[in-house]
Chains A and B, each alone.
Chain A
Amino acid sequence: MLLHQISFLLNAGIPAAPSGPGGLFLVSELLVVTAYLAVAGILFYLALKRDERERKLVLVLFGVVALMGGAVHLLNFWGFSTRNELILGLRLVFGLLAIGAAFLLFRAIPGLLAIPSQRQLQKTNQELRGQIQERERAEAALRETQIELEDRVQKRSAQAIMANRELEREIENRKSAEKQLISKNYELIKKNADLDDFVYYASRDLKAPVLNVSGLVEAIREELPTNNQELAQLFARLDDSVSSIHRKLNNLTEVSRIQKPLEADQLEMVSFATALAMVQERMPEPLKIAGAEVKADFSAAPEVFFSRDNLLSLLTNLLSNSIKYRDSERPLRITLTTRLQDPYLVLEVQDNGMGIDLEQYGNHLFSLFRRFHDHVEGSGVGLYIIKRIMDNNRGKVEVQSVLGEGTTFLLYFLNHDQDTGARV
């Protein structure tokens, strides 16, 4: 369109071109006009292509100024021949338009100043690129960190899984160990029971031949003359030995008997007074020989939920212990009392006997077949039986003693009530 415009101008100018100095003027005018119009055309074209509003406006304004300049010069071709007033008017209009455009340009200065230069833009661009690169680097670093983290997480999970597996293995091991323990325990219980049975049957079966021996000794004595001193002494020793074997066997039977666990139906409410009376009735001779005075006060707790057989055994052993280890300097006094001491029922059996050196013997006091005196007949099972019976019933035994003053046995019965006892 610009080219068309130019060619139109050229076409319009050339036929009017005069010759001579006036002609030269016209040629130079034509060149100026062409230049103006070309510049205006270029500026408009640029304005059309530019997409920023600010620049478009500026280019259009420049274009208008150029166009006006061109137009004023164009008028020169016309001005020599035709009406001067019209030309002058047009010139004025064009001048005004150009001034207007220049004014508008002046107004646009701040806007134009705000437009960054190419270099600035390039610089900004570079900066931006730098920023982008930095960001990319940061991103890469981030990614690396992330990968590292993921790696770590994976490693950790792997470790956790390993640890878990180890734990599972450990649990399995423990379980099997527990199973082994249980089976070992079961074996031990069985072995213990077998041993108890063995002791029980051995002591029972040995009794018959011992009885036979004592019977035969008796028979021989009857067949022999009675006036032989020597023989009488031998027989006395033989009798002693046989009765000692017999007593020991009885003790063994007793020990094996109390080691058997109790059946629930063997438990009942047993009166301490009744049990004590039975025991005293069974052992009148020893009590009489010792000149013992037995005092009892069971008013605080008259009964206990227990095996009658076991309670009789406890009292028998406690009384015979007091009798055996009485102080020969003073008459034996045995005091039996009961009291409640939550959660126990306590049976206290106190005597004024020789006393026991607890520091020396305390640890072995309740051991089987341990004896601490040789001046009296004993087998070392009495206290063991007491302890066993209390242990079997989840109770306990305590002993307090002062040498030369006496001994106190404290028997603690747990679940002494019918109601609580049933849970045993």
Chain B
Amino acid sequence: MKKLRGILLIDDDDTNNFLNHRLLNRMQITDRIKEFRNGKQAFDYLYNISEGHVDLSNPEYFKPSLILLDINMPVMDGFEFLALFEKLDAKFLEDVVLALLTTSEHGQDTERAAASGIPYLIKPLTAEKVQELLERHVPETEG
């Protein structure tokens, strides 16, 4: 299976980031995983990369293939992040998959996610859920 360029985990819950990080590491689908505690930090990071403001040879900076975005966060929540994210350069976004992570099966967040047409995963994240997401949205990982 071809490895992904990198994954961003955006969630204010440290333990959740830790567990997801661990899961993805064990799945061995990428070598680069980066965690952010809120939408603002993640957006600044992505903006700088899309505008070429950073040196991509630095392993700290990479363009992700997959972004897992929590909805409830301080400073800038998932939907606010999403609104800015969609304004980034279209070419840059072409090969970036974004999925929302939510805790509840019902409720406003889920409805909003479903309505926006963006894939969403119900926590907890499992290997099966990640696999299914990649198969559906990242073609080169198939097989």
User: Is A227 an interface residue, CB under 8 A from the partner?
Assistant: no
B20-37 CB contacts (< 8 Å) to partner A: 22
Q: CB-CB < 8 A to B65: which residues of A?
A: none
B124 adjacent to A211 (CB under 8 Å): yes
Given contacts A215-B19, A216-B19, whether A204 and B13 have CB atoms under 8 Å apart is no
B72-91 CB contacts (< 8 Å) to partner A: 72
A208 adjacent to B13 (CB under 8 Å): yes
A204 adjacent to B104 (CB under 8 Å): yes
B123 adjacent to A211 (CB under 8 Å): yes
How many residues belonging to B are interface residues under a CB distance threshold of 8 Å? 12
Q: CB-CB < 8 A to B15: which residues of A?
A: 209, 212, 215-216
Instruction: Give the number of A-B contacts (CB < 8 Å).
Output: 36
A302-336 CB contacts (< 8 Å) to partner B: none
- Could you list 12 A-B pairs, sorted by A, with CB under 8 Å? A204-B107, A207-B103, A211-B124, A212-B13, A212-B15, A212-B16, A214-B124, A215-B16, A215-B19, A215-B124, A216-B19, A257-B107
A212 adjacent to B104 (CB under 8 Å): no
Given contacts A208-B123, A212-B13, A214-B124, whether A219 and B103 have CB atoms under 8 Å apart is no
A219's partner among B13, B16, B19, B104 (CB-CB below 8 A) is B19
User: Is A408 an interface residue, CB under 8 A from the partner?
Assistant: no
B106 adjacent to A253 (CB under 8 Å): yes
What's the nearest-Cβ distance from chain B to residue A212, in Å?
A: 4
A residues contacting B by CB (< 8 A) are: 200, 204-205, 207-209, 211-212, 214-216, 219, 253-254, 257
A207 adjacent to B104 (CB under 8 Å): yes
Contact with A along B91-126 (1 / 0, CB 8 A): 000000000000110110000000000000001100
Give the docked Cα–Cα distance between A209 and B124 (Å).
Answer: 11
B residues contacting A by CB (< 8 A) are: 13, 15-16, 19, 22, 72, 103-104, 106-107, 123-124
A211 adjacent to B16 (CB under 8 Å): yes
Q: CB-CB < 8 A to B123: which residues of A?
A: 207-208, 211
B103 adjacent to A208 (CB under 8 Å): yes
Q: CB-CB < 8 A to B19: which residues of A?
A: 212, 215-216, 219
Give the docked Cα–Cα distance between A209 and B123 (Å).
Answer: 11
Q: CB-CB < 8 A to B106: which residues of A?
A: 253-254, 257
Q: CB-CB < 8 A to A215: which residues of B?
A: 15-16, 19, 124
Q: With A204-B104, A207-B123 given, can you name 13 additional A-B contacts, CB distance below 8 Å? A: A200-B107, A204-B103, A207-B104, A208-B123, A211-B16, A211-B124, A214-B124, A215-B15, A215-B16, A219-B22, A253-B104, A253-B106, A254-B106
What's the nearest-Cβ distance from chain A to residue B117, in Å?
A: 20
Q: CB-CB < 8 A to A208: which residues of B?
A: 13, 16, 103, 123
Q: CB-CB < 8 A to A205: which residues of B?
A: 72
Give 5 nearest A-B pairs by CB, closest first. Answer: A215-B19, A212-B15, A207-B103, A211-B124, A211-B123
